[in-house]
Amino acid sequence: MSELDQILELWRVTQRAGESAVLATVVRTQGSSYRLPGARLLLTRAGQRAGSISGGCLEHDLVSKAWWLTEAGPTLRRYDTTPEGEIGSGFGLGCNGIVHVLLERLEPGQRNMLDTIEEVHRDRCALTLEHTLPGGGRFVETITPPIRLLIFGAGDDAIPLTVLARYLGWLVEVYDGRAHYARTDKFPLANRVSIRTPGAGLLSVDDWTVAVLMSHSYSQDLDVLRELASNPPRYVGVLGPRKRSDALLQEAGVDVRRLESVLHAPMGLDIGADGPQQVAIATIAEIQAKLSHREGGELRKRGGSIHARDDMPEPAFSVRSIVCA
């Protein structure tokens, strides 16, 4: 379960109990910071919490002050952890940056930001919002649906891939043409497990869909590859040696140019993976790098900020717009 899933679940429980909560959101950072704008933390009166806005240091301060800070409405809290800042030494922080945190009281039955996030997940539409901050200024963020991973192949080696993807909060669907493979008891964490035969029809693919082919069945992989070529997802990974993938592409008779920007065959980052668990790590890491427009190299060799997003294309939507696939 992802951090955001934990926040949403805790809020559901809190609402059912008829209790209020405080939502803390990072809205601006200057210099180095542990979390980026958009990071969230939910606090309940009972002392429960989900999410994070730092490495654990700022959370302690908010647990003790969030309720009285929000008595008069939303407020903006500033944490200066630079050497010259007022809390750098007291909080034991080593980020050397300034973090601005928006605090909002959530009441049961009243619409709030978490309701909007739930709708984005349900409708699978990206939503860009502009928030007016207390004291002036604004915070613009884009909320996107969770990644949807289509796994074609329900062998034993697909199990750790499913587990890891679900741990990250991704939606996972497992497909296989063999009934004794595609079993829900074998993949209890998957959101869907289905028997899929050749020519079963096109699967829906949106901007947050990725896929891997790992059935160990040449005919099944060939059928799926032909289908995905007509509407490629953001990432298509193929398990197995390059020679096998080349043969699949040639026999599939698809326009390779439509797949070249998304096809990863063999799939996974080059980390010396051996065995299903390590292959799952290498594959998930490569998908994450692809979606983040990163090369997947060593972080210590990256120039500039490790959180920089200046190498990513601008979103093709404006403030308060909705984008559905």
DSSP 14-73: HHHTT--EEEEEEEEEEE--SS-TT-EEEEETTS-EEE-SSSSHHHHHHHHHHHHHTTTS
Q: Cα dihedral sign for 44, 46, 49, 55?
A: positive
d(CA 99, CA 80): 7
Q: Measure the CA angle with vertex 64, ends 62 and 65; round to 5°.
A: 65
> What pTM, to 2 d.p., does this model score?
0.86
Q: How far is CA 205 from CA 86, 156, 230, 325, in A?
A: 49, 25, 10, 8
Torsion of CA 287, 55, 81, 22, to 10 degrees: 100
Cβ neighbours of residue 239 closer than 8 Å, sequence gap 6 or more = 153, 157, 212, 213, 214, 216, 266, 267, 279
Q: How far is CA 196 from CA 199, 225, 242, in A?
A: 9, 14, 25
Query: Is 255:231 a contact under the CB 8 Å cutoff?
Result: no
H/E stretch holding 163: helix 158-167
d(CA 59, CA 67): 13
Query: Is 114:14 a contact under the CB 8 Å cutoff?
Result: no
pLDDT at 34 (0 to 100): 78
User: On the CB side of 50, how many CA atoms lie within 13 Å of its CA?
Assistant: 17
pLDDT at 310 (0 to 100): 41
pLDDT, averaged in runs of 10, over the chain (325 residues) = 92 96 93 85 93 85 91 92 59 69 95 94 93 90 95 97 96 96 97 86 86 95 90 94 92 82 94 95 96 88 66 40 58
Query: Is 133:102 a contact under the CB 8 Å cutoff?
Result: yes
d(CA 152, CA 159): 12
Q: How far is CA 241 from CA 70, 162, 214, 261, in A?
A: 58, 22, 12, 19
pLDDT at 253 (0 to 100): 85
d(CA 152, CA 216): 10
Domains and CATH numbers, the chain: 3-143 (no CATH), 148-291 (3.40.50.720)
pLDDT at 69 (0 to 100): 94
d(CA 201, CA 210): 18
Gyration radius of the chain's alpha carbons: 22
pLDDT at 254 (0 to 100): 79
d(CA 121, CA 33): 27
